[in-house]
Amino acid sequence: MITVQSNNIRRDMNSMSFVGMTICDDGIVAFGDSKGTIRDALGNSKEDTKRGNIQKVFKNNHYVLVTCNANTFFDESNFNINIENFMLDNINNYNNYFDFFEKLLCRISSNQLNFNNLYKFIIGSKDEFGYYVQHVDIINNQIIICKKFRDLQTYTMGNDYYTHLTYTFNFRLNQILLIQNEIKDKIENIIKDVDKFSSYNPVGLPVNVEIFQ
């Protein structure tokens, strides 16, 4: 198991989700869509209706986490595991998110079928200097951890069209209880607009929001 420190944020041009976090004066607002996408035999994208809504935002008392990109992995017995099930089963067992990711890496690296899959996360937490977020990738049996970001702004990852619209997220007040609904409304309106002009929208309702303090 290898942990690599990095100042770079990896971008996936073909990501099929939209998740992120907004750092406020008094906490962090984490958000994510809930649509799952699969590809048919011809490579066309379509909604994974068998899985239904996919949870992409998770929280315990010590950190909040959002995930996108690869959302399944094969275990050592070649069973396909939905990553949200792993999150729900394990996140409350680890107060330290480094330990949590080591556990996830152990499961992923137990099967070489997962080797080239890219699993992307944003972590939000608090230390003696205040609230921060960090981007984390798991790929090729490595955990890649980026530097901490502390500016009062929105940090996202996922589909390029949605992440570019993050620049329109200008909130007048930096208090989580005041902007959590505003964030949700903005994302829901973008999703509905894309539904009107796109043959397939990789981001879908409902939008889930969690606050961390």
Residue 45 pLDDT = 86
Q: How far is residue 106 from each of residues 56, 80, 138, measured CA to CA in Å?
A: 21, 15, 11
pLDDT digits (tens, 9 = 90+) for 50-100: 999 999 999 999 999 999 999 999 999 999 999 999 999 999 999 999 999
pTM of the model: 0.91
The rounded distance, in Å, linking the Cα atoms of 191 and 196 is 9
Helix axes 97-108, 83-90, angle to 10 degrees: 140
pLDDT digits (tens, 9 = 90+) for 122-140: 999 999 999 999 999 999 9
Which element (helix H / strand E) includes 101?
helix 97-108
Residue 38 pLDDT = 84
Residue 172 pLDDT class (50, 70, 90 cuts): low
Tell whether the model's pLDDT for residue 13 goes beyond 70.
no
Residue 43 pLDDT class (50, 70, 90 cuts): confident
Tell whether the model's pLDDT for residue 8 goes beyond 50.
no
Question: Under DSSP, is residue 201 helix (H, G, I), strand (E, B) or coil?
Answer: coil
Domains of the chain with CATH codes: 2-38+47-196 (3.60.20)
Residue 166 pLDDT = 83
| Contacts for 31 with CB less than 8 Å, ≥ 6 apart | 19, 20, 21, 22, 57, 66, 183, 184, 187, 207, 208, 209, 210
Residue 2 pLDDT class (50, 70, 90 cuts): very low
Tell whether the model's pLDDT for residue 102 goes beyond 60.
yes
pLDDT digits (tens, 9 = 90+) for 16-28: 899 999 999 999 9
